[in-house]
A and B are shown apart, each in its own frame.
Chain A
């Protein structure tokens, strides 16, 4: 059975126009396909454009260029009525469970609101039943319905945010750093909850985060972003086992593993310098200023997006087939 493409993003760009004619290219041409029922992880460090990408995909930001199509419909070409209907299918969970819930509404009101706006489950009783059901789905109980957000811990608040996103019975959820504000023991609770809900409700996730070890836990496939571009894409275990792009290699090697013996054996690639400004990105390959394998071509030509191994894509000149540097593919002895 072929997988059905649910979301198709093509050459999506989001540029912010600043004063003095400067342009911040937050997202500069990304293309991804997300299949029905999968969890697609989008990772990168702060400022790489991953959140902007998520917000542009759902239509919170207007695109600068490119297209987003959901189940065949052009998300950015919809009229008001169509957009309204679209939000029933796609919902978002935000990073900060403190800022994303109205402190003056009760949990009940917070979860009821989307149902009222969309006029679902007619009748007060039916809607209330639905609220209770949702609370139980996310591991809270009906007694919580009349409380206010400040009465809950961070993890519980994130559960409320999830219940609200589920209120419209969406098919697709964009989760933008849903766990990074939470403590480790609670992060695992929320990740397990998201996994369970996915199974029960046949959800598709776009999971945006900076924590690669958590993203790997939950995702089927992962795309790595750097300075507005996707530099590598593959299934998640393969990405860890055989990272192709030098940035992915450095990123993986920088993540500490909670095991002293493993840590002692590991060799790290310490990247020099820091993220360049997205207002004046480097020419050619955006990563070249920090890349340990920089070649002449990297400054002059943008690397092309290519399938280096089966279903494992990367944008890097090291993998150009006619490249003389072909023999010198990055071999990182024992970086793990």
Chain B
């Protein structure tokens, strides 16, 4: 399957009173056609900023894309004007956000909001757009769509609102859907409904999905490939099985050990000690070194290069270096 989106060495920073926050510090990631790629990381790791930059939604200033490129269909999105970008947003690439309450305009009917994209991008008549919108609402599982089209967001529950946001995002049949914590604000039983919906929609439309989340359970359930982010960098990328069954980066391992599993009895949680580094002045070497039990001298000084472990499984860690391996075997 072909690549549909290529992010290369992206750097994003924000100017604040306290100085420059380097939120994204050299992220490279590819998205393939028809897959679900999960971006996992804790708050402040830059996972949302990375994809808000892809959509060019970060306010510039204070934010700025300092370097790197974002290739979509031979176009570098980071270089496009606002006008050019508007043609892509919502039509080719759509985004949905965590909080369905704030993502919808409370003063417009959901019908107005779903059809807006169609009228703007496809120059459709209002009538034709409404017809499509009804189909969309049906697809996302909203009963009685003809009536619901003329209602306002406050007349819907949280789960229903998220369905409407998904309908809005998908109505122009985009190739890429970026979902930023789409189920975090929802209850688990509703989360299960929404994740099921993603699967159905992907089967029907073939859309590629980027799922940004902190929930490893959701990832295990929904992702094909996973990229783990920490302090503005992608520290490990791999298939679902690579990441869960042979994680190589100490941060990935730590994350997996710190989540409770419903199906295990007497599981001992092993937390990662400490907290993530301050991105005003990120450490010179590996940002995880201060919290890592296996850190070596080199880790605090030089950022590790990317090592390929198998097809599609990459990790950025000094432990993969031949010299580190010799050192370890030497100790034994």
Contact present for B259 and A184 (CB under 8 Å):
yes
The answer to whether A240 has its CB under 8 Å from any CB of chain B is yes
Write the nearest CB–CB distance from A215 to chain B, whole angstroms. Answer: 9
Report which B residues bind A (CB closer than 8 A). Answer: 42-43, 157, 159-160, 187-193, 195-196, 214-221, 240-241, 244-245, 254-263, 265, 267, 269-273, 275
Q: Which residue on chain A has the smallest CB distance to residue B251?
A: A185
Partner among A153, A156, A185, A256 whose Cβ is within 8 Å of the Cβ of B221: A256
Residue of B218, B221, B255, B265 with most chain A CB atoms under a 10 A cut-off: B221
8 A Cβ contacts from A255-284 to B: 255-260, 262-263, 268, 270-271, 274-275
Q: How would you classify the secondary structure of chain B's contact residues: helix, strand, loop or mixed?
A: helix
The answer to whether A145 has its CB under 8 Å from any CB of chain B is no
Q: Could you name 23 residue pairs across A and B whose Cβ atoms are closer than 8 Å?
A: A183-B214, A185-B42, A185-B255, A186-B42, A186-B275, A187-B258, A188-B259, A188-B272, A214-B260, A237-B265, A250-B189, A254-B189, A255-B217, A255-B262, A257-B217, A257-B262, A258-B216, A258-B220, A258-B261, A259-B220, A259-B261, A263-B217, A268-B192
Q: A189-B271, A259-B220 are in contact. Are A183 and B260 (CB under 8 A)?
A: no
Q: A184-B259, A185-B42, A240-B263 are in contact. Are A45 and B241 (CB under 8 A)?
A: no
Write the nearest CB–CB distance from B307 to chain A, whole angstroms. Answer: 23
Which residues of A are found within 8 Å of B269, using beta-carbon distances?
188, 191-192, 217
Q: A45-B189, A274-B190 are in contact. Are A263 and B221 (CB under 8 A)?
A: yes
Which residues of B are found within 8 Å of A183, using beta-carbon distances?
42-43, 214
8 A Cβ contacts from A201-256 to B: 210, 212-214, 216-217, 237, 240, 250-256
Which residues of B are found within 8 Å of A189, using beta-carbon distances?
271-273
CA distance A184 to B255 in the complex (A): 7
CA distance A250 to B191 in the complex (A): 12
CA distance A92 to B212 in the complex (A): 33
CA distance A237 to B221 in the complex (A): 23
Contact present for B275 and A257 (CB under 8 Å):
no
The answer to whether A46 has its CB under 8 Å from any CB of chain B is yes
Which residues of A are found within 8 Å of B260, using beta-carbon distances?
188, 191, 213-214, 216-217
Report which A residues bind B (CB closer than 8 A). Answer: 45-46, 153, 155-156, 183-189, 191-192, 210, 212-214, 216-217, 237, 240, 250-260, 262-263, 268, 270-271, 274-275, 336
CA distance A253 to B196 in the complex (A): 13
15 further contact pairs, Cβ within 8 A, besides A186-B42, A189-B272, A258-B220: A46-B187, A185-B42, A185-B255, A185-B258, A185-B271, A188-B272, A191-B260, A213-B262, A216-B260, A252-B262, A258-B261, A260-B245, A271-B189, A274-B157, A274-B190
Q: A184-B214, A184-B255 are in contact. Are A258 and B244 (CB under 8 A)?
A: yes
Contact present for B262 and A259 (CB under 8 Å):
no
Which residues of B are found within 8 Å of A210, using beta-carbon distances?
187-188
